A and B are shown apart, each in its own frame.
Chain A
Amino acid sequence: MTAPEPILEVDDLVKHFPVKIGAVIKRTVGHVRAVDGVSFTLNKGETLGIVGESGCGKSTLAQVLMRLEPPTAGSVRFHGEDIFAKRGAALRALRRQVQIVLQDPYTSLNPRMTVADIVGEPFEIHPEVAPKGDRQRKVQELLDVVGLNPDFVNRYPHQFSGGQRQRIGIARALALRPEVIICDEPVSALDVSIQAQVMNLLGELQREFGLSYIFIAHDLSVVRHLSDRVGVMYLGKIVELGTEAEIYTRAAHPYTQALLSAVPVPDPSVREGRSRIRLSGDVPSPVDPPSGCRFRTRCWKATEICSTEEPELRVRPGGHHPSACHHAHEENLLPG
């Protein structure tokens, strides 16, 4: 294997949203700390999975990486260049390189546009990619690549099923030949039998075009299947980061362990003997996260130090990959 070549470097990224009250004169009464100090590197040709429950900040992270939202602090470098410093032509060039596939194929496609318009729209904005006369052919090629009949160009989104719509969304993301695609829950709205089709397609496209993915999802099995490395998020922070095997078979952070043991396994023969960690309560509000370690209010290992000192994400003694826990201890929690 060649040495990993970093393509996207995220350093201490922070995104806070102000909470405002008042009808005319608005007062800021606090901040939703949606993303609160996230760092990772995405290498060329790899898939970095981001897992976490709703409200942990994974979609906000996607929005900031796409430059749809300005960050509160921190930096993101694409091929070594700060993406937030880019303006004008440089920004347009960046937008070609980083694309997104959204979760809900029912709301992410304009119902009044035909497939040709939807998939071809990126060419309107970036005409240098495809000259005008060539667009129809390009769109048909793209449809073929994602496994749709190229003759469907004049159809509207409502004439397609959920899985087919997600393929249209993927074709749109591929149109400009990006290097990075951010997939924000791309299969969670799909039926089980259709999920596998779309996941296989994403895998094939990655091999064919050498794409790098940031794959955001809440389903741990889906993330494991597609990812090379995985980051686990909780309340705006990455609490554990490692290779797919490290996270799934040697989880060190109590939250990762609880997540893994909560996932129902489709094998009734293991249901009796499985070790279970059951968290109580819900995720605290990101407006007022707990002091110290944010997971301590639901953690069975929490001690004094957890409320006073925030654990940083680093390789712990006796461990092999970074985790943000004072009491990190690697364990295999999978059945069998």
Chain B
Amino acid sequence: MSTRTTTQTDAGAVTDRGPDGVPLLEVDDLHVEFHTRDGVATVLNGVNYHVGAGETLAVLGESGSGKSVTANTVMGILPVPPARITSGAVRYRGEELLTADDERRRELRGEHIAMIFQDALSALNPVFTVGFQIGEQLRTRRGMSRRDARARAVELLDMVGIPGAKQRVTSFPHEFSGGMRQRAMIAMSLALDPDVLIADEPTTALDVTVQAQIMDLLADIQREREMGMILITHDLGVVAEVADRIAVMYAGRIVEQGDVHQLFAKPCHPYTEALLASIPRLDSKGTQLQAISGLPPTLTRIPPGCPFHPRCPRARDECREIDPPLLALPGGRASACLFAEELAQS
């Protein structure tokens, strides 16, 4: 291994910790490898982020950047093997999760940390009714009777805006439209009143008018319940609309982190800068798009130095050798670029 560095985030710069200074959920220097036929793929290479109560952290990245693997590690649903967590920690209210036993993890899952998935049709079981699936956790975890669980499922479906919840509770997933299935998934994730909700591309499979409905719903629920939300997405528009803070991922690491307004106004990593310049705009026709040349690296062969240097318009000789750590910048931001300060001032 080359100089894969430990991250030095400035603890003093972080503002959104709980009253005792402990964040609600924290991912600390997480490293995950996958053993594949082509060799060892370094899927996560030092991921750090944290989320506080009532806060929305958006994890932005392209496919293969490690957004979902991080989330699955937090939830404890990573398939081990082929995956292997080589180092790092995940802490919920200061409690270490990666070393916790299965029983404790099971307690936390759903009850404290819940997750909604991108494709609601494959996340729901096709042979049980929606109401049964929502009520399942209430029966097994809260010891509710079938009848009570059913009644609570109706309330939950009603809360997420499914019309005629009383009738629809006996429907099967295939009888729901895409938007309704995603609402049912949200209802299910909220059944046990979690403090942290991880939403993994919750609207990617949906149409734009339905996407707007679901994002509004999630924002309302989060505000009401003071939940911490980790929103995983590749859509810069969605991020700009709902996030408080953003963590940008590239090739298994966080390359930039910061407040949503600052990050969009003044990106401090060339990858973020290039991403923002590459998207077509709704409010003008524009001419040529500033495409990012090349491809993301293959995770079995991440180039030495900065993983973005082969595609970076600002790359210099140093970038080929030094793997830049994620360093704190003024304003509670952090960037993993050797020239972040130059970028910030330019």
- Nearest B residue to A203, CB-CB: B288
B165 contact set on A, CB distance < 8 A: none
| Bound-complex Cα distance A335 to B282 (A) | 10
Q: Do the beta carbons of B283 and A336 come within 8 Å of each other? A: yes
In-complex Cβ contact of A278 among B216, B235, B265, B279 (8 A): B216
Interface residues of A in 193-233 (CB under 8 A from B): 193-197, 199-200, 203, 218, 220-222, 224-225
* A268/B280 contact (C-beta < 8 A), A193-B62, A193-B292, A282-B180 known: no
- Given A192-B62, A196-B289, residue A265 in contact with residue B209 (CB < 8 A): no
A53–B241 CB distance below 8 A: no
Q: What residue in chain B is nearest A255 (Cβ atoms)? A: B209
Chain B residue with Cβ nearest A271: B241
Would you call B280 and A53 a contact (CB within 8 A)?
no
How far is it, in angstroms, between the C-alpha of A261 and the C-alpha of B293 when the chains are bound?
31
Shortest Cβ distance from residue B286 to the other chain A in the assembled complex, whole angstroms: 6
- A:125-142 near B, CB below 8 Å: none
Once the chains bind, are B264 and A267 in contact (CB under 8 Å)?
A: yes
A264 vs B236: C-alpha distance in the bound complex, in angstroms? 8
B208: which A residues are within 8 A, CB to CB? 53, 218, 220, 259, 262-263
Q: Across the interface, name the chain A residue whose C-beta is closest to B233.
A: A264
Chain A positions 248-289 with a Cβ under 8 Å from a chain B Cβ:
248, 258-269, 271, 276, 278-283
Q: Are B209 and A262 in contact (CB under 8 A)?
A: yes
CB of B291 within 8 Å of the partner chain: yes
Q: Which of A163, A244, A258, A268 contacts B295 (CB 8 A)?
A: A163
Measured CB to CB, the nearest residue on chain B to A191 is: B62
Whether A193 lies near B275 (C-beta < 8 A) is yes
State which of A191, A248, A260 has its C-beta within 8 Å of the C-beta of B234: A191
Interface check A149, CB cutoff 8 A: no
Q: Collect the chain A residues with CB atoms within 8 Å of residue B180's CB.
A: 282
Q: A334 near B: Cβ within 8 Å?
A: yes
Which A residues touch B279, using CB under 8 A? 192, 195-196, 221, 266
Give the nearest-CB partner of A226 in chain B. Answer: B280
A260 to B282, CA, bound (A): 8
A265 touches B288 (CB 8 A): no
Q: Are A334 and B213 in contact (CB under 8 A)?
A: no
A197 touches B291 (CB 8 A): yes
Q: Which residue of A lies closest to B244 (CB)?
A: A268
Is B80 on the interface with A (CB-CB < 8 A)? Answer: no
Contact of A266 among B178, B274, B276, B292 (CB under 8 A): B276
Q: CA of A53 to CA of B279 in the docked complex: distance in angstroms?
A: 20
**Contact status B283-A196, CB under 8 Å:** no
Q: How far is the CB of B256 from chain A (nearest CB, A)?
A: 15
Contact assessment for B291 and A265 in the assembled complex, using a CB-CB cutoff below 8 Å: no
Instruction: Report yes or no: A266 in contact with B285, Cβ–Cβ below 8 A.
Output: no
CB atoms of B207 and A196 under 8 A apart: no
- Distance in angstroms from B135 CB to nearest chain A CB is 25
Most buried by B among A192, A260, A283: A192
Q: Are B283 and A334 in contact (CB under 8 A)?
A: yes
For A265, the chain B residues whose CB sits under 8 A away are 237, 240-241, 282-283
Which of A191, A259, A268, A336 has a CB less than 8 Å from the CB of B240? A268
Question: Does A110 count as interface, using CB distance less than 8 angstroms?
Answer: no
Does chain B have a CB within 8 A of A154?
no
Residues of chain B within 8 A (CB-CB) of A194 are 295
Asked whether A161 is an interface residue with its Cβ less than 8 Å from the other chain, the reply is yes
Q: Which residue of B is nearest A228, CB measured?
A: B285
A268 to B264, CA, bound (A): 7
Whether B300 sits at the interface, judged by CB under 8 Å, is no
Given A163-B295, A196-B279, A269-B265; A225-B285 close (CB under 8 Å): yes
CB-CB < 8 A to B236: which residues of A?
Answer: 192, 266
Q: CB-nearest residue of chain A relative to B282? A: A221
A199 and B280 form a contact (CB under 8 A): yes
Q: Is the CB of B278 within 8 A of A195?
A: yes
Q: How far is the CA of A28 from the CA of B216 in the complex (A)?
A: 41
CA distance A245 to B284 in the complex (A): 8
Indicate whether A303 reaches chain B with its CB closer than 8 angstroms: no
> B291: which of A200, A267, A278 is its contact (CB, 8 Å)?
A200
A 293-331 to B, binary, CB cutoff 8 A, 1 in contact else 0? 000000000000000000000000000000000000000
Give B207-236 as 1s and 0s: 1 = Cβ < 8 Å from A's Cβ atoms.
Answer: 111111101100000000000000000111
Distance of A268 Cα from B179 Cα, bound (Å): 25
* Bound-complex Cα distance A83 to B207 (A): 33
Contact among B177, B234, B237, B261 for A264, CB-based, below 8 A: B237
Minimum Cβ distance to chain A for residue B57 (Å): 14
Q: Is A41 close to B, CB under 8 A?
A: no
Can you report 15 residue pairs joining A to B where beta carbons are below 8 Å apart? Answer: A53-B209, A164-B295, A191-B63, A193-B292, A221-B279, A225-B281, A259-B209, A260-B282, A265-B282, A266-B281, A278-B213, A280-B213, A282-B180, A282-B210, A334-B282
The 5 tightest CB contacts between A and B, nearest first, are A264-B237, A225-B280, A196-B291, A53-B207, A262-B212
Q: A224-B282, A267-B240, A268-B240 are in contact. List 17 more A-B contacts (CB 8 A).
A: A53-B208, A196-B292, A197-B291, A221-B282, A224-B280, A225-B281, A259-B208, A263-B208, A264-B237, A265-B240, A265-B241, A266-B237, A266-B239, A268-B261, A271-B241, A276-B212, A336-B283
